[in-house]
Amino acid sequence: MTAQELSERDYFTDPEILVDPYEYFNALRSQGPICRLEKYDCLLITGFEEALEVWKNPIDFSSVNSLASAAFPLPFEPKGSDISEQLDEARDKFVGHDMVVCYDGKHHTKVRSLISRVFTPTRLKANNVFMHDYAQELVQRVVARGSCELVSEVAAPYVTMIIASLLGVPPEDRVKFEEVIAAGQTVGSIEHADSPTDMTSMNFIAQFMAEYLQDRMKNPTGDMLTELTQSSYPDGTKPDLSELVGLSAFLFAAGQDTSAKLLGNAMRYIVDIPGLQQQLRDDRDLIPWMIEEVLRLEGSSKITARLAVRDTKIGDMDIPAGTRVGLAIAAINRDPVKWGEDANEFKLKRPRIREHLAFGRGVHTCAGAPLARAEVIEIINAFFDHTSEIGFNEAVHGKVGSRKYKFEPSFIIRGLDTLQVEFKA
């Protein structure tokens, strides 16, 4: 296929792009760092500097469509050089509009201040013992069997339990959430073009959060949910219950698929890059470096979106109010202008690696990044503790160099649906 033909494919629905989105984005990149997707009448950014400019300009670029995606048509006809009033009236027509990641301006600043209050290093540290013990337990169980399906047997339950324990979700309810999430539609589904992101599991979780929060108001404990009920905004006012419910549900859900998929993505590099597994086993301090490079090359969020609320610019390019912009993280993190000609290659301790954009940047930067990193580092260490070698089932995935994988059918999430792993004790 020529670059031209490839770039004309439909990113938001084409199952073939799932396998190698990077090739598709490279084809787009050859048209420049910002290109137009005619079919959706939106822009798509593949350039690092250009994307950074958008992320760091929350005044002109709204996050209202960050879950709905850049492909989602505006629910109104944009008029004039400033559409902020039109947007305010139509906000509730965007899927996920009541989630913090879609908030703008002062409302976002207020709710984000609650996140920084509760998601502190001290609190994460306090959960480390639980995380360590649970990682050891899960890993020992599957290693004893000699093989496992990594995504459903380890990654998903692991990240669910950890955020549940942090928030203070009672152990007996955790399995319920796991089941609902596993059964629900993936975020950014390529198979549901009309409603790629569905809020059913989020609403299910929210109902429970409402109960817990009301309970913690009467019976405070030391958990994060209690702390949320006791928190106030910077101006001294108290958040109402519905705000706390939405926030707790989002905190619970935001790191499920993303963190779980990061483990599978990291395993592919650990197992398939010649010599890497042994190098990491010999020097565990290299594991965080490996994670950062995997986040850059194969982070679990491929794309987010913004909407220009007033006439503005990206670089020299005029951007009229009403323009929808896709920020293609999977492409931005491989931009050769930023990373050099070896941008598509895995390189431990790459210069300026910490500047990758797997967690976004600016006011909406992923608040869960420290947690996601800690989780994955902990469980990889646990696997190294209890095995001498990790490999993949070649009957299912083929041999190195010609591996076959099934990917999550999502234009947002990058990660494996399943990964059959084998262990040597």
Partner 1 sequence: MSSVFVVDRSGQEEIITIEPGETLMQAISNSGMPDMLALCGGVCACATCHVYIDAAPESVMSGMDEDEDVLLGGVLSRQENSRLCCQIRLTEAYDGLRVTIAPEE
Among residues 259, 300, 255, 297, the alpha carbon closest in space to that of 276 is found at: 297
Q: CA 346, 352, 357, 358 torsion: positive or negative?
A: positive
Alpha carbon distance 9, 202 (integer Å): 31
Chosen residue from 359, 392, 411, 423 binding partner 1 by CB under 8 A: 359
Binders of partner 1 among residues 221 to 240 (CB under 8 A) are: 233-235
Min separation Cβ 122 and partner 1, Å? 6
Residue 63 interacts with, from partner 1, ligand HEM, none (CB under 5-8 Å by kind): ligand HEM
Q: Where are the beta strands (DSSP E) in 218-330?
A: 304-308, 312-314, 317-319, 324-327
Report if residue 8 touches partner 1, rule: CB under 8 A: no
Q: Tell me the residue type at 109.
A: T
The answer to whether the CB of 111 falls within 8 A of the CB of 100 is: yes
Q: Give the CA-trace dihedral at 178, 183, 186, 192, to 10 degrees.
A: -160
Binders of partner 1 among residues 106 to 165 (CB under 8 A) are: 106, 109-110, 112-113, 115-116, 119-122
Report if residue 410 touches ligand HEM, rule: CB under 6 A: no
Alpha carbon distance 380, 252 (integer Å): 22
Instruction: Say how far residue 338 (Cα) sits from the centre of its chain.
Output: 22
Q: Which two tokens stand for residue 258?
A: 């993303």
Min separation Cβ 251 and ligand HEM, Å? 5
Residue 101 interacts with, from ligand HEM, partner 1, none (CB under 5-8 Å by kind): ligand HEM
Among residues 194, 422, 198, 384, the alpha carbon closest in space to that of 282 is found at: 384
Binders of partner 1 among residues 27 to 66 (CB under 8 A) are: 56-59
Chosen residue from 75, 288, 362, 391 binding partner 1 by CB under 8 A: 362
Report if residue 288 touches partner 1, rule: CB under 8 A: no
DSSP state letter for 66: T
Report the residue closest to ligand HEM, judged by CB.
368
Q: Which two tokens stand for residue 75?
A: 């629910």
Min separation Cβ 11 and partner 1, Å? 26
Report if residue 160 touches ligand HEM, rule: CB under 6 A: no
Residue 251 interacts with, from ligand HEM, partner 1, none (CB under 5-8 Å by kind): ligand HEM
Contact track, ligand HEM, 241-270, x by CB under 6 A: ---------xx--xx--xx--x--------
Alpha carbon distance 138, 158 (integer Å): 8
Min separation Cβ 293 and partner 1, Å? 16
The answer to whether the CB of 378 falls within 8 A of the CB of 130 is: no
Among residues 384, 20, 414, the alpha carbon closest in space to that of 186 is found at: 414
Contact track, ligand HEM, 169-208, x by CB under 6 A: ----------------------------------------
The answer to whether the CB of 87 falls within 8 A of the CB of 59 is: no
Q: What is the largest CA-CA distance in the chain?
A: 66
Contact track, ligand HEM, 94-133, x by CB under 6 A: ------xx----------x--x------------------
Chosen residue from 201, 304, 323, 410 binding ligand HEM by CB under 6 A: 304
Residue 67 burial (C-beta neighbours within 10 Å; 0-12, 13-18, 19+): buried
Q: Whose Cβ is closer to ligand HEM: residue 7's or residue 46's?
A: 46
Q: CA 140, 136, 173, 267 torsion: positive or negative?
A: negative
Alpha carbon distance 43, 185 (integer Å): 26
Chosen residue from 281, 324, 334, 364 binding ligand HEM by CB under 6 A: 364
Report if residue 296 touches partner 1, rule: CB under 8 A: no
The residues binding partner 1 (CB under 8 A) are 56-59, 106, 109-110, 112-113, 115-116, 119-122, 233-235, 354-355, 359-367, 369-370
The residues binding ligand HEM (CB under 6 A) are 63, 66, 100-101, 112, 115, 163, 250-251, 254-255, 258-259, 262, 299-301, 304, 358-360, 364, 366-368, 371-372
